[in-house]
Amino acid sequence: MIEANDITVRFGTAEALRGINLTLSPGQRLGIVGESGSGKSMLGLSLMGMLPDAAGMSGQIRIDGTDMTGAKIASWRAIRARKVAMIFQEPLAALNPLRRVGNTVMEPLRQHLGHSKDAARARVLQLFEETGIQDPVAKFRQFPHELSGGQRQRVLISLALACNPKVLIADEPTTALDAHVALRITDLLVRLAEERGMALVFISHDLAAVARTAQDIAVMYGGEIVERGPVHAVLSSPHHPYTQGLLLARPALGAGHLRERLPVIPGTVPAMRDLAVGCRFSGRCAVELPHCATERPASRPVGAHHDAACHRIGAAT
């Protein structure tokens, strides 16, 4: 569905993404985790051809057999909605406050598929039904502010699915929602991906949400994928020091843990232009080797379909 090779995004001399490789097969659900500034949203946008004007991108992208390498806006527009679609973090902000939500969802149907007004309307109601919106006919005529957060996100999912895309990129779709609603949205995304054989890229900083949604997980740090593999493998035996730190920093439940201090990864993510040339994590890493800051570690297999990019791997410790 998606084959991305050596994607690098630069803002001037700063690299927002460095050498990202990504493949997705139909129906595959990939979770991307990382903290703010790790480049995960940038990766989502680059797969939509929606990077800011100031960004320069290199690398190859193929989407559903179409080579999008260096594609112009017009060719991107032609595949958006029909091959790749995206949903966003803040469902209220992502809906035009002055349009009835039904009309918003109708737009791509009329534009891309040339549906008549009636056909588009019928399809929207069907989509609302499919995404679990109760009373679709009434909701069709409502404005975004009249809906609840979960309903708004369902409307946005309907909008994204309108033209039956092969890939759905969900950029932190549950961050703005409360935990209960978030669960139902992630379950909905999983169900839709399975039913439609649609690939899903689930971007989040919530490890639990990713574990629930995705089959595979890619951990990003400083614009790179530092570790990737099946969710279970990565979470149970993380190999990259960053992934290990990330997992340790999760609070544990239970009476015995109440007074424990959480271990944290020291420091904060450096600014884009201050990132080390070598391993992006050097400087914050507890097990750093002398050459880490200058030499870029290659991605090495550490298990079945499980890779990590760290100089420690395979090196004598």
In whole angstroms, what is the distance from residue 303 CA to residue 314 CA? 12
Q: Does 162 bind other proteins (CB under 8 A)?
A: yes
Three-class SS of residue 3? strand
Task: Tell me how far the alpha carbon of residue 202 is from its chain's centroid.
Answer: 4
Q: Which of 24, 32, 163, 276 binds other proteins (CB under 8 A)?
A: 163
**Binding range to other proteins, per CB under 8 A, among 61-69, 94-102, 253-261, 272-280:** 94-102
**Binding range to other proteins, per CB under 8 A, among 3-11, 12-20, 73-81, 118-126:** 73-81
Q: Which residues contact 184 (CB under 8 A, 6 or more apart)?
A: 132, 150
Q: Which of 10, 62, 77, 205 binds other proteins (CB under 8 A)?
A: 77
**Residue type for 268, please?**
T
Nearer Cβ to other proteins (168/272):
168
Closest C-alpha among 250, 245, 225 to residue 308: 225
Q: Does 157 bind other proteins (CB under 8 A)?
A: no
Residue 1 contacts residue 85 (beta carbons within 8 Å): no
Q: Which of 14, 78, 249, 287 binds other proteins (CB under 8 A)?
A: 78
CB 85 → other proteins: shortest distance, Å? 6
CB 45 → other proteins: shortest distance, Å? 9
Per-residue binding string, other proteins, 33-62, x by CB under 8 A, is: ---------------x-x--x---------
Q: Does 115 bind other proteins (CB under 8 A)?
A: no
DSSP 244-313: HHHHHTSPPPSGGGTTPPPP--SS-PPPGGGS-SS-TTTTT-TT--TTTTTSPPPEEEEETTEEEE-TTT
Q: Which of 95, 157, 207, 279 binds other proteins (CB under 8 A)?
A: 95
In whole angstroms, what is the distance from residue 65 CA to residue 308 CA? 28
**Binding range to other proteins, per CB under 8 A, among 13-21, 26-34, 87-95, 179-187:** 87-95
Residue 282 contacts residue 212 (beta carbons within 8 Å): no
CB 92 → other proteins: shortest distance, Å? 9
Residue 55 contacts residue 214 (beta carbons within 8 Å): no
Site residues for other proteins per CB under 8 A: 48, 50, 53, 77-82, 85-88, 90, 93-99, 107-108, 111-112, 156, 159-160, 162-163
